[in-house]
Chains A and B, each alone.
Chain A
């Protein structure tokens, strides 16, 4: 008994982190959905949810309550056991993948030394949930959607994996924490050393998470909702949660590997220490904007709401500023890495998700055969060439002593040239097969 208690006490930080993820992530995913709807509305010249709560802020809660209260419909001829378990597999895979990721230097459940491999591998288990969901629904539409989704995920997993390998060559380690520390040591984020790899990873991760322009399996206008067609109520909410969790996971991987994780821009250079004030500044700018808009609201309660929000942001700004103001060595000052690290990490993840949303509302959808062609005939060869290019650059830099200012840009240019050749070859083939998708 005592050993058990001792054990629990020794891992209390990880337990708290796990609790936060399981409890808070669904809520956060709900608010990411709200953010997506607001961003969508903004790009479409309209407002988005405005009614439920001020500016629609209670919309996710209303949605969650509605979905919980909905009737649980299971198709008559569906395989009930698998129907029940399929969404759970997707959600579990997504959440489990979060466990090896480091959201700040203090927030990590499991600091595995194969962290990144674990994350990517577990994330891939989500495919089971999709295929089983489509199969157990016993409907043409669902099955088609599920198989397509699975094929898409598997293809783009390869390209994503190879892009990750490229960055791992630079990092030299699989542990998420150490990758970020390596970037800190080098003083440069890996996106600058391997920009083509980053680009490949962005495209592949969009396809991984079934987002537009790769969302044919879920396209409303074609297969209604693909593998999710027969799911309603909370089961559907679980799938949705799984999708957004995957988005966060994928964004976190990209941030960890390419964008420097929790590092501030120019983390090593003391000349840029003023950037430490950026979190507080951002909060103050938002607070200022709220104060600016408050008098323009028509109704008193709306004014009060904005003032309260502004006050909250000022509070957060103060929290960010506190470690900077406090004397060095004190308890408050030692909170800086954790607090600021988390801020930078979440900011980068947020920007990555905004990029996802931006792309979704700008581009039409790829047809399935075009999607597969893009994955297999463009991205995978390109990612292989990318890995070779980075290897070449590393050899030039480490063995032959070239400066990294010449080695990396050179190999990046070579990789881009190959990319151009691949793209034009693909375009020529597209013209030949213009009439019919022969290789359906």
Chain B
């Protein structure tokens, strides 16, 4: 679809097969962190007569990071900062779950990340600590973004940061609703998007909508679902 012939293609259309992925160095948006874009594998030289071949995957992705910001965090919290890397020009810190409140408070007050963009979770079921709790923070003063990550397993509780940023209240409820992560210290942790009596947590990778459907049909209609 992306490569359908256009009606008004300007005359100087690129000759090479449009299947190479450009290296990220040319991206125009201002980097929030000093760009340490890894060198991408060069696109395969265009074979003039050969049909387009899929490019080799360039070595993009997370790269370890150690700049001033990370140094400050490590100085202050030492081991609690487990990992730090940069991915697509965005800095990510993986921190210890137990000290999340401290780190959050420090981020808000000292590093001036006073605006919490987003609090969400990602499920990696094959990992021992399956949930990634992700906090995207933004500093209005410095115009910078920073991402904090916390790993938690299904039965571990994560400290609630709604005392630090009031907006986290509903976002944590949604994470609880969709993933089943319990936030400790949350004043009113109940489901937000789904009805209160819903069973299961939909955004987990092992939640299959068909299971829900067959269970409902079995319960309410007394037959086996045909799906």
Q: Do chains A and B touch in the complex (CB under 8 A)?
A: no
